[in-house]
């Protein structure tokens, strides 16, 4: 059975062990913080949260652990205008609309893009993955802002 973050800390640690990863106290602290996360996982914010509990924590350990979990299929990542964001794999069925002006991000259900996916498949034989990259653009708030505010 594939481990998920929601399977809990010990299940995730077991999945990493099976994959041959060493579980250091630092890595355990990162994993403990991660299994508490329900929504989007911002690597910089996660680093700060872990560092609060484990002062002197190396941010590289956080980034490396996220990368490993991505390799194992427990997490997936999305590229936004302002960097990479992680999701639990079972919660990654949406597309981000990422504002190039203010960096805000809204979410669109992947199924709303089914007509576009079908068109790509028919015309190009291409099976798109809309969840890997955000769709860049300008959000409603920024579009409504007066010119001088931009
Ligand atoms: Zn998301
Ligand atoms: Zn905006
Ligand atoms: Zn990528």
Q: For residues 109 and 11, what is the distance between their CA atoms, to the nearest angstrom?
A: 29
Instruction: Output the CA 80–ligand 3 centroid distance in Å.
Output: 10
The structure's pTM equals: 0.84
What ligand is nearest to the CA atom of residue 131? Answer: 1
pLDDT tens string, the chain, 150 residues long: the values are 577 888 899 999 999 999 999 999 999 999 999 998 878 999 999 999 999 988 888 899 999 999 999 999 999 999 998 889 999 988 888 999 999 999 898 999 989 999 999 999 999 999 999 999 999 999 999 999 876 655
Instruction: Output the CA 148–ligand 1 centroid distance in Å.
Output: 31
In the prediction, which pLDDT does 65 show?
94
- Angle, helices 25-34 vs 43-53, to 10°: value is 120
Instruction: Output the CA 3–ligand 1 centroid distance in Å.
Output: 20
- Other C-beta atoms closer than 10 Å to the C-beta of 76 total 18
In the prediction, which pLDDT does 150 show?
52
Distance between alpha carbon 96 and the CA centroid of its chain, in Å? 11
């Amino acid at each position: 059975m594939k481990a998920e973050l929601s399977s809990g800390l010990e299940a995730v640690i077991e999945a990493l062990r099976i994959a041959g990863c060493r579980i250091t106290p630092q890595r355990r602290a990162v994993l403990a913080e991660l299994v508490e996360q329900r929504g989007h996982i911002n690597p910089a914010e996660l680093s700060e949260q872990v560092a609060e509990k484990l002062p002197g924590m190396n941010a590289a350990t956080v980034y490396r652990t996220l990368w490993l979990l991505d390799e194992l299929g427990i997490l997936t990542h999305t590229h936004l205008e302002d960097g990479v964001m992680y999701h639990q794999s079972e919660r990654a069925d949406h597309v981000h609309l990422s504002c190039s002006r203010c960096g805000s991000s809204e979410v669109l259900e992947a199924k709303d893009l089914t007509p576009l996916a079908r068109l790509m498949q028919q015309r190009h034989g291409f099976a798109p993955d809309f969840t890997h990259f955000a769709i860049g653009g300008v959000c409603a708030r920024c579009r409504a802002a007066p010119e001088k505010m931009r």
